[in-house]
C-alpha cells in the first residue's frame, strides 16, 4: 500500500482514538502491523500524536488564551495550571527514564491486547462502583487530585492501557465528576503529548529521512481533523453516558487481537 495512504489511515486511527479510553498507541501499533507500515523505532506512532495536541489547543483556544491572560491575577487559572503541571510530572519522569525499554519490549500487539482486556475489566468495575463526585469544574481540581491523576496516567506508559482511560479513571476515583475528569485529561494531554512528541523527534531525528516527512505530515493533518471531531463528540457523550460501552469494546478488541496474533 502507498506509504502516504498508510500514514493517512494511521492518522485517522490516532485522531479517533487518542481521547477515547481505548488506547491510541495500542491501536496504532496494531494498525501499523496490519498495514506493514515501518518507521524508526516507534517514532511515527509518537510524533503523530502532535495532531491530537493541536486539536485540543484549537478546541480550547479561546479558554486557553483567556487563562494565559488571567494567570498573573487569577487564583483559579494558577490553580488549574499548577494542577496540570503536577499531573504531568510523574509520567514525564518515568517516560524519560524508561522510554527506550518500553518501546523495545512492550510495543507489540500481544502487549496491547492484554492491556486492552485488563483495562476494560477495570473500567467496567469502576463504572459499576462510582465514587461520589465532589469536584465540578476544572478550576476546582485540587493539587492532591491532580497528583493522583498524574500517577494514574503513568500506567499508560504500557501500550494498550490508554492515557485517556488512566487519567480519567484517576480523576473519577479522586472525586472529579465525569465531565471535569474528561476535560482535565484533555488539558493534561497538551504538555504530556506535546513534550513526548518533541522528545521523540529529538531522539529520532537522525533516523527520520526526507522520505518520511511527507507521510508524517499527512498523518498529522488527518490526526488533527479527526481528533478535533472526537474531542467535541466525547465531551457531549460523557455528559449523558458512562464509559461501560468502551469497557466492552476494549475487551472485545483485545480478544480479537489475540486471536489474530495466534491465527496469522
| Interatomic CA distance for residues 79 and 249, integer angstroms | 35
Residues paired with 176 in a beta bridge = 135
**Domain segments of the chain: what residues?**
3-263
What is the end-to-end Cα distance of the chain in Å, rounded?
Answer: 19
Give the model confidence (pLDDT) of 38-82 as tens digits: 765 556 777 788 898 999 999 999 999 998 888 888 899 999 999
Question: Does the pTM exceed 0.85?
Answer: yes
Give the DSSP H/E element, type plus range, for residue 217: helix 210-238
pLDDT values of the chain reduced to their tens digit, one per residue, 264 residues: 578 888 899 999 999 999 999 998 889 888 888 888 776 555 677 778 889 899 999 999 999 999 888 888 889 999 999 999 999 999 999 988 988 888 888 888 999 999 999 999 999 998 887 677 889 989 999 999 999 999 999 999 999 999 999 999 999 999 999 899 999 999 999 999 888 888 877 776 665 655 567 788 888 999 999 999 999 999 889 878 889 999 999 999 999 999 998 887
- Compute the distance between CA of residue 36 and CA of residue 125 in angstroms, rounded to an integer: 36
* DSSP-based helix, strand, coil % in the chain, nearest 5: 80, 0, 20
Rounded to whole angstroms, how far apart are CA atoms 92 and 192? Answer: 7
Taking alpha carbons only, the member of 112, 93, 120, 121 closest to residue 45 is 112
Amino acid at each position: 500500500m502507498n506509504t502516504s495512504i498508510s500514514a493517512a489511515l494511521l492518522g485517522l486511527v490516532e485522531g479517533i482514538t487518542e481521547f477515547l479510553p481505548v488506547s491510541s498507541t495500542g491501536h496504532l501499533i496494531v494498525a501499523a502491523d496490519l498495514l506493514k507500515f515501518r518507521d524508526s523505532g516507534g517514532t511515527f506512532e509518537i510524533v503523530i500524536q502532535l495532531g491530537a495536541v493541536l486539536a485540543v489547543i484549537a478546541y480550547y483556544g479561546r479558554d486557553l488564551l483567556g487563562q494565559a491572560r488571567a494567570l498573573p491575577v487569577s487564583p483559579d487559572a494558577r490553580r488549574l495550571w499548577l494542577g496540570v503541571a503536577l499531573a504531568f510530572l510523574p509520567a514525564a519522569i518515568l517516560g524519560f527514564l524508561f522510554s527506550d525499554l518500553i518501546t523495545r519490549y512492550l510495543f507489540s500487539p500481544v502487549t496491547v491486547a492484554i492491556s486492552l482486556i485488563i483495562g476494560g475489566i477495570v473500567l467496567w468495575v469502576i463504572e459499576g462502583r462510582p465514587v461520589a463526585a465532589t469536584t465540578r469544574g476544572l478550576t476546582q481540581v485540587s493539587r492532591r487530585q491532580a497528583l493522583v491523576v498524574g500517577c494514574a496516567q503513568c500506567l499508560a506508559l504500557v501500550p494498550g492501557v490508554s492515557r485517556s482511560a488512566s487519567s480519567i479513571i484517576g480523576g473519577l476515583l479522586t472525586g472529579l465528576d465525569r465531565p471535569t475528569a474528561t476535560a482535565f485529561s484533555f488539558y493534561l494531554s497538551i504538555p504530556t503529548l506535546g513534550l513526548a512528541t518533541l522528545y521523540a523527534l529529538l531522539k529520532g531525528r537522525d533516523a527520520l529521512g526526507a522520505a518520511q516527512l511527507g507521510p508524517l505530515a499527512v498523518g498529522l493533518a488527518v490526526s488533527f481533523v479527526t481528533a478535533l471531531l472526537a474531542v467535541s463528540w466525547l465531551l457531549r457523550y460523557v455528559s449523558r453516558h458512562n464509559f461501560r460501552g468502551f469497557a466492552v469494546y476494549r475487551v472485545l478488541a483485545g480478544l480479537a487481537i489475540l486471536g489474530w496474533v495466534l491465527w496469522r
